[in-house]
A and B are shown apart, each in its own frame.
Chain A
Amino acid sequence: MPLLQVSDLEVTIAARSGEAVKPVRNGSFSVTAGETLALVGESGCGKSITCFAVAGLLPKRANISAGSVMLDGRELAVLDRKAMRLVRRRDIAFVFQDATNGLNPVKPIGWQIAEAVRLREGASWKASHARALDLLRRVGMPEPKRRMREFPHQLSGGMNQRAMIALAIAGSPKLLIADEATTALDVTIQAQIMALIADLQREIGMAVLLVTHDLGLVAEYADHVAVMYAGRVVERADVESLFATPRHPYARGLLDALPRVDRVSRELAIIEGQVPPINAMPAGCAFAPRCARALPRCRAEAPVMLGGSDHAFSCFNSLPEREAA
């Protein structure tokens, strides 16, 4: 049984004009303990909002309007703010994109981690600080004792991200959501941070929800992938089958847009057109206007998920399972 099971998640944002928009519609995926699910897609496809919905961090005007978020057999979609706060203290941790701005500029690093420890365990400040120092050592922070007293502006982006991860694992969470956690970092630091997350994952046995638009990271660190387009999960598979035989034309387009060493001096493929605006979604498949394989049916009717539980996709005219190269 998966640790996190998200089914038909729908998020509604009440706009000030009164018109509501749904940035996430029918998002379904699951993550098993100890495994990594990558949530991929273009900017604005609803990856982050999906994660906020799972962690109960949606902005005030937004809410989960349909679907279910099951964590370890418990339904989170119906919990109120207070109950979700307790879930975040113990079970779900978040690592954000920009750690330097994600840490409080006027509080010492050690204090910020100790606060997370205290919220989780109710320990004294002294004990929490001692534990914070352990955590900083655990995430490989150089000179951890000195860093305890330092402020985010005195640390590099990579060190801040380590501090952010220390803060996140303070509660030994069951689920770690890494929302573009390495996007702002240099490639070498990025690799270190990803290796650290993978390490901690093995140690704590937590599930990781890796949000990224970097398919290189996905290939290296994820076990499963969910491809999102315009607020919907359009294809779900384990990493090998997705990279080998993508079934949805959008997933295929994403892969073709990757530079590859085995195909020298070929121009990178691009996906023509743009994601439809959130308040003007087409009636049928949201990808149909950009899709070379679109059928008349695609424009009239929204496809549902097809295929087995190992490799599912929502497309009426999917790519064949074994493609003739």
Chain B
Amino acid sequence: MRPTYLLWKTLRAILTMWLVVTFVFFVLRLTGDPVAQLLPDDVDQNTIDFYRHLWGLDQPILVQYWRYMVALTQGDFGISFRDNQDALQLVLSRLPKTALLGFVSLVFALVFGIPLGVIAALKKDTAVDRFVVGFAVFGFSLPNFFLGILLILAFSLHLRILPSSGSDSWQHLIMPAFTLGTAFGAQIARYTRSAMIDVLNKPYMRTAESKGAGDLLRLYRHALPNAAIPLITIIGLKMGELIGSAVITENVFAWPGIGRLLTFSVAARDLAVVQCILMIIALTMVVSNLVVDILYGWLDPRIRADGTPEAAR
């Protein structure tokens, strides 16, 4: 990994973040006045003007933007309009819950998605393959909120073995993680299957067979390291979707993470908090893309350290 490559990647990441911040800033302010949303209908004009001035909303939008950006560079993300808390502190206090849910879902998705995909590829065109593909289509076509509600009906309402909402114990984690992980795992199973089918037909797989390598050796020494390359790319790109789906899942199960905070804050036009959350989501995607780039160079010797493919001979 050359330093210039890393520097270039970091600069691009910063540019991406700046575009996200700017876009979110202007779009949020175009969608309505937060003061009107927060205050009761019958307050007098003086009170409205007081809060407008307090939050700087009486300034021209470009001045607001300049102030916001200057504050950002000093680590000031603004304050929540609702409870005067520091926006960043508020979001960070909720972040561990989302991180826990996201991590457990991701592990669950990988643990069942990759083996299912591999088995389907090895048993291509058999009943096993068709079952896995059918299950995968079902898994990612089923909306998160619907699967979540089905689970609550079954395990909370009828069987009464799992709590339907909250985050107090590990039992609370099961259904949200299953909901979020199923859709993601189903997609991973499909991508694993197609990556494996592609690799299994490559000439080097036959070379491995001609050496007399057994099925397992060929699978984990030859097929998987090659299939991992496209797979890592897809998983990295899909991480953003995972966080996006977390917003819905957190709401279904009243999981107190940043997804749930986001829906509340959008409804209340709590601008600073919404901006802060969207920046964190964008940062997650930027970082996961960066990790993919690094992993890619490590997994695939054909990609040189500067990230450009070496010319084919």
Contact = CB atoms under 8 A, between A and B. Distances in A.
B32 interface: no
Interface in B175-212: 202-204, 206-212
B207 A106 contact: no
**Which has the most chain B C-beta neighbours within 10 Å: A87, A103, A156?**
A103
Given A105-B301, A106-B299, A96 B214 contact: no
A106 B310 contact: no
A231 interface: no
Interface stretch (B63-71, B131-139, B222-230): B222-230
A102 interface: yes
B24 interface: no
A100 B313 contact: yes
B301 A164 contact: no
Contacts of A107: 221-222, 225
Given A115-B221, A153-B313, A156-B313, A104 B211 contact: no
A106 B211 contact: no
A106 B214 contact: no
Q: Which 4 A-B pairs give the minimum distances between C-beta atoms? A: A89-B212, A94-B210, A88-B212, A151-B301
The majority secondary structure among interface residues of chain A is helix
Interface of B: 125, 202-204, 206-214, 221-222, 225-226, 229, 299-302, 310, 312-313
A154 B212 CA distance: 26
Of listed B125, B203, B225, B302, residue having the most chain A CB within 10 A: B203
A16 B137 CA distance: 25
12 contacts: A57-B206, A93-B210, A101-B204, A105-B226, A105-B302, A115-B221, A116-B211, A119-B211, A119-B213, A153-B302, A153-B310, A167-B207
Nearest to B310: A153
Interface residues of A, number: 33
Tell which of B210, B214, B301, B312 has the most Cβ of chain A within 10 Å.
Answer: B210
A93 B179 CA distance: 51
Nearest to B208: A104
Contacts of B212: 85-90, 119-120
B204 A102 contact: yes
B204 A103 contact: yes
B313 A167 contact: no
A102 B204 CA distance: 4
B254 to A, nearest CB: 45
A161 to B, nearest CB: 12
A57 B221 CA distance: 19
A74 to B, nearest CB: 16
A167 B211 CA distance: 8
A157 B208 CA distance: 19
Contacts of B209: 57, 88
A183 B226 CA distance: 26
A55 interface: yes
A98 interface: yes
B299 A96 contact: no
Interface string A76-117: 000000000111111001101010111111110000000110
A157 B211 contact: no
A104 B222 contact: yes
A142 to B, nearest CB: 15
A157 B226 contact: no
